[in-house]
Structure 1
């Protein structure tokens, strides 16, 4: 019976160490391995001949949970209870056995290393090809700063600097690669503890949706680094002689071949294929915004020149809560309408990567002041079928007839109840002008 101590030498396992290891082993195994039936249902729903980067991300983002919705710390509590009971039973059954858990510890660390690497790669590539925090939509650029919640402001602040987001993604990819190799795993885990610690604090400060998940990854990284923690502390903090790790796994020829094959498959699928598909997705199907085209050549900010409600013409007023203030047509099938009527904010902030167009609400979540509608175009009848994207207004849907007397004008109507004339404004945006100039320090001409 032996364990690796802080000097790298082998010492006998103490009874309390065995019990702690057994509990930790079961707990981490339950966190790493997919146990939720919904995971396997999703796995079976994937078209493997046409797998997408969204599919790969959702598989990598798996987290053990016992309730519907995002994972919570209550799930951790349930797992800990299960692990404690299993650890006690394991201890009782092995009470008279001279167990040596060094080999088991090694394989558990391998599983956690690859699970953490998979999670980091999933996020790394959607940052490297700026997908996670995209550039703000036209509607967002025409929304007052105070109308956004904290998490939306944080996300948009990252989205306007895609070079920085790319850098963060590159760091994550390199850390994941370091975790794949035994000699660099502790270094990668240590750097990731610092990196993900910032992510965890940001989620708390800005009310993000990945608080539980980011802390779970921190736990994985700490377990990996704990293998060398005492040696590092002894060498760097106490400045004492420290022996290197003396444990070396022994592989049979068959196991060695299987190990190389599995690692090669992991690299091929989750680095090469996932990286290529993420890059293609960034060009053709960024998951945060709908991919369905909107009304042709209508993108822009529109002033509401005429507003007639129930045959009553309502003039512009900065305090009117009924009249539309302005309208934005996105390049995709979203129209947003600014009014002074209060909007119940959609505060859902769970990070989801969707294949389907339905439910892509990044543009409308975390913001007040505008009403966001997805629409379908009936070109034969010259109609737009609008549906409110905010889940608090599921019943808010209607049909508008449209006409375009000029390329810069759109007229919307709904029988005798509504008649609106929209004129496109030639507005310029400082962010876009700065990006086009190639430098934030150059003077902008408006």
Structure 2
């Protein structure tokens, strides 16, 4: 394909393969991008558009799954925790089917057209803004340390081998604030460069490298955003497609490349000014919304008994239970984290409970989420790093003594940074 932003004296002639491939890519990306950017229209108009589009895809995927793949069970949609569900793969197949059918009709009705240079310009603009929006959104979430979080107390006590691949990646990124900010800043810069024509090529090159790395991390650590990150990689590559020959000539063949003459999109100056205003609004919206989210994000205060408590003595009734590794009754530790509380038994199982602490009367009630009749009622006393619990579970009396383990006692937290290392410290 010829670069549509350059000045040419004659109208370029695309061959049949180029025109057919462009039609397919154009139809597919229209289906993929929509309703962007209309979902951001205020006054709930965007929400209604998104809801209607989601309902349409739910209906189409249901038809495809039953008639082609013979899937009779219900396929849930709109899963926020994963972008690689069965529904998402069926939706990908459905988009390709619709796009292929649209290409067939388009080719029959418009087979005499010489090229789609104007359409290519419009598609690249749409892809640039979608990709820029994604890069800025994800970039700011890293810069403001929102996407990844510090290792929790439960993360610190989980054996390394019991971490999921995704959990391992999240712990690594969450514990590396400087690296998270660096990667986020790179994404932000790439997104901003995409929004201005003189810097589009640099921005697209940066996006391609950054998103290729993200895609490989998602593949290597089983992060369920594989489909989405793959689409962003392909978007960056497609934006660079009109400049492929010049890039190869400059970077590979070490030959000079003539500068690209950028023609204004519109002959009237007012329309071009409106474009710059639109870019400014988009940048202000993205930056402002992320700043507002960071400022208004409420950090839940630490619970009164926040910490990891290792069991030193466990008395049930009149019996002092030994610390047997297969014992499913004796507690190994009590973990009270910012967001969760859990009782780890000697056999390694963790029972997550609702924490009701009364610091006035020094009472602690732990209630099972699965069975609200499964309750531990305690009074507690704290002296230095020792926690004593006295109470009941059903009809059994319990007396438990704990030794508090501070978060900073873990090597991952207290190791810190060293400019000079006489020996590698790799554990």
TM-score with structure 1 length normalisation? 0.74
Q: Does 1:413 align with 2:392?
A: yes
The 3-state SS of whatever aligns with 1:222 is helix
Q: Which 4+ residue blocks in structure 1 deviate beyond 6 angstroms? A: 5-8, 39-43, 378-381
Q: Which runs of 5+ in 1 are unaligned?
A: 48-63, 286-290, 344-369, 389-393
User: Aligned pair in 2 of structure 1 residues 338, 442: CA closer, same or farther (>3 Å)?
Assistant: farther
The answer to whether the aligner puts 1:102 opposite 2:117 as a matched pair is yes
1:17 match: 18
What's the counterpart of residue 434 of structure 1? 415
1:181 aligns with 2:157: no
Equivalences, count:
382
Instruction: Give the aligned CA root-mean-square deviation in angstroms.
Output: 3.6
Aligned equivalents of 2:91 and 2:382: distance in 1?
58
1:217 positional shift: 0.9
How far has the Cα of 1:260 moved from its partner? 2.1
SS in 2 for 1:131: coil
By how many angstroms is 1:432 displaced?
3.3
Q: Which runs of 5+ in 2 are unaligned?
A: 48-56, 62-75
- Alignment-derived partner of residue 29 in structure 2: 28
- Correspondence 1:257 to 2:310: no
Equivalent position SS for 1:248: coil
Which has the larger Rg? 2
**Higher relative contact order, chain-length normalized (CA < 8 Å, sep 6+):** 1
1:316-335 matched pairs, under 5 angstroms = 316-330=323-337, 332-335=338-341
Deviation at 1:398, TM superposition (A): 3.2
CA distance 1:310–1:213, change in 2 (3 Å): farther
**Match runs of 1:267-306 below 5 Å:** 267-271=283-287, 273-280=288-295, 284-285=298-299, 291=300, 294=303, 296=304, 298-306=305-313
Trace 1:215-254 onto structure 2 (pairs within 5 A). Answer: 215-239=230-254, 242-246=257-261, 248-251=263-266, 252-254=268-270
Deviation at 1:232, TM superposition (A): 1.0
Matched, 1:171 2:186: yes
Q: Distance in 2 between matches of 1:386 and 1:42?
A: 42
1:402 equivalent to 2:365? Answer no
Q: Counterpart in 1 of 2:69? A: none
Greater CA drift, 177-186 or 87-96: 87-96
SS at match of 1:322: coil
Distance in structure 2 (CA, Å) of the matches to 1:24 and 1:324:
59
Question: How many angstroms does 1:110 deviate by?
Answer: 0.9
Q: CA deviation at 1:249?
A: 4.0
Per-residue CA deviation, residues 208-252 of structure 1 (Å, 9 max, x unaligned), is 122111111111111111121122113332345644445624313
Q: Are 1:150 and 2:165 matched, yes or no? A: yes
Contact preservation (8 Å) 1:387, 1:398: yes
Q: Give TM-score scaled by structure 2 length.
A: 0.77
Q: 1:263/1:6 Cα in 2 relative to 1: closer, same or farther (>3 Å)?
A: closer
Distance 1:15 1:442, change over 3 A: closer
Corresponding position of 2:365:
384
Superposed, 1:340-379 pairs within 5 Å as: 340-341=346-347, 370-377=350-357
CA distance in 2, matches of 1:44, 1:341: 51
